[in-house]
Chains A and B, each alone.
Chain A
């Protein structure tokens, strides 16, 4: 049930995925998938585990190449970029990994400073101020001297978020930002994602299977299953969808198009086999 007026048109899209096919060995992961990410919007990509959500992020980030189809970011075809152009594009993209992926041998301050040190040559006092501003934006300026091992999961993700925006990218991809967090931390992350979007105009792509939290902050959502899009629309449209697969996911029904039972021989036969053995 999609209202085509609310799906971003080609001119307003920052990321376009067109007819992408991706397979690993014999397994098809994405099958003729097409979607667009609107500029300046928060878009959620939802689906069950292993449906290809993270693969999609890796395709956008240029870490994987599609078997066929087009992946366009800000008009550039990602799989066709050479190494240098790809690296230049990545400086404009941020990615927040599920685990935060902080560098374990650097403290919080150094972690946030890392991209700036690597790519820009700022004098130390200015660098210090930039880093402190980013940490302040996520509310962790006081934690600057802690080591990643001393941070809780939620704090680590916030530091990683500060690091992600240190180069002020045009878009940020969030890989399962809510997974494994307590409700307070979830609320913090959700607040930050929304603030960065409205405050800095950062286009946000949210990959999550946490329906409630993702839909609460998204402008638009896609649901992926079996390598295709099985539903798309604004969060409200998704919740009101009559499509069975969409309903099962949105409402968390244990049985439906995605079966409860793993394929097995007939129950009675299986039990009787045991008697005969």
Chain B
């Protein structure tokens, strides 16, 4: 019976947490209105969240594209369909791997950094100090970071997919001998802008919102000790990853019938 009660408690706590997170999200959104006039705050955050994540995204994208080229070729050649390698690489990246892997890497690098930064500001009383100076920390600190995450994520996903396709070409055409013209023409005739690329962009936007939201919320709610901040960072990465994968399934089911 005790485990049943604990399960019930867990469910209630989770629902309560979700409610708090939603109210927090709405509060941050309404605080974002003032950012239009103070856009330099967002620009600064796009730097720390976007530009600094760029390297890992590009390297990962390149390697994922190359692996797709390699593995794709190995399988397609058995059916005499090696000409479709370009199509395979492009669709895999644009529809799934681009948005999802970027979101996971983003959660690990930028998301955890956001949580740690905000948690640390809370622990060192910087947020409280701002409140006492009549500066709303939600508007000044949290909102720019959320908006920056939402802006940066689709761009990073596009860069991931683009460099992945180039990586696939490097291996497929450069190493394995697939004809360059066929590689690209098969891809271009098979990849639809509306159905594939646009859906991929929508996915990455949704992931951007969710990961940034989780990261910022966990930081704001963290217990203001070093242990509390470390646990919050952990939760950001875990919750973000699970949310991204679950949402990916739901969106894929809705978009690609």
Contacts and interface: CB of A to CB of B under 8 A. Distances in A.
Interface stretch (B80-88, B102-110, B128-136, B173-181): B128-136
Given A101-B124, A103-B126, A95 B132 contact: yes
A160 B125 CA distance: 12
Interface string A89-103: 011011101110111
Given A97-B129, A101-B129, A91 B134 contact: yes
Contacts of A61: 132
B143 to A, nearest CB: 14
Interface in B33-85: none
A95 B140 CA distance: 19
Nearest to B44: A105
A236 interface: no
B135 A115 contact: yes
A93 to B, nearest CB: 7
Contacts of B129: 95, 97, 101-103, 160
Interface in A25-82: 61, 63
A101 B135 contact: no
A91 B135 CA distance: 9
Contacts of A103: 126, 129
A63 B135 contact: no
A88 interface: yes
Interface in B110-132: 121, 124-126, 128-129, 131-132
Contacts of A95: 129, 132
A102 B129 CA distance: 8
A90 B134 contact: yes
Interface string A111-145: 00011001100000000000000000000000000
A101 B120 CA distance: 11
B135 A97 contact: no
B128 A90 contact: no
Nearest to B140: A118
A5 interface: no
A97 B125 CA distance: 8
Contact of B133 (A63, A88, A99, A118): A118
A101 B134 contact: no
A87 to B, nearest CB: 4
A104 interface: yes
Nearest to B132: A95
B139 to A, nearest CB: 10
Contacts of A98: 125
Contacts of B121: 104
B125 A93 contact: no
Contacts of A97: 125, 128-129
B121 to A, nearest CB: 8
A91 B131 CA distance: 10
Interface of B: 121, 124-126, 128-129, 131-136, 140
22 contacts: A63-B131, A63-B132, A88-B134, A90-B131, A90-B133, A90-B134, A95-B129, A95-B132, A97-B125, A99-B124, A101-B124, A101-B128, A101-B129, A102-B129, A103-B126, A104-B121, A104-B124, A104-B126, A115-B133, A118-B135, A160-B129, A163-B133
Given A94-B132, A101-B125, 11 more contacts: A61-B132, A87-B134, A98-B125, A101-B126, A101-B128, A103-B126, A103-B129, A114-B135, A115-B135, A118-B134, A118-B135
Interface of A: 61, 63, 87-88, 90-91, 93-95, 97-99, 101-104, 114-115, 118-119, 160, 163, 167
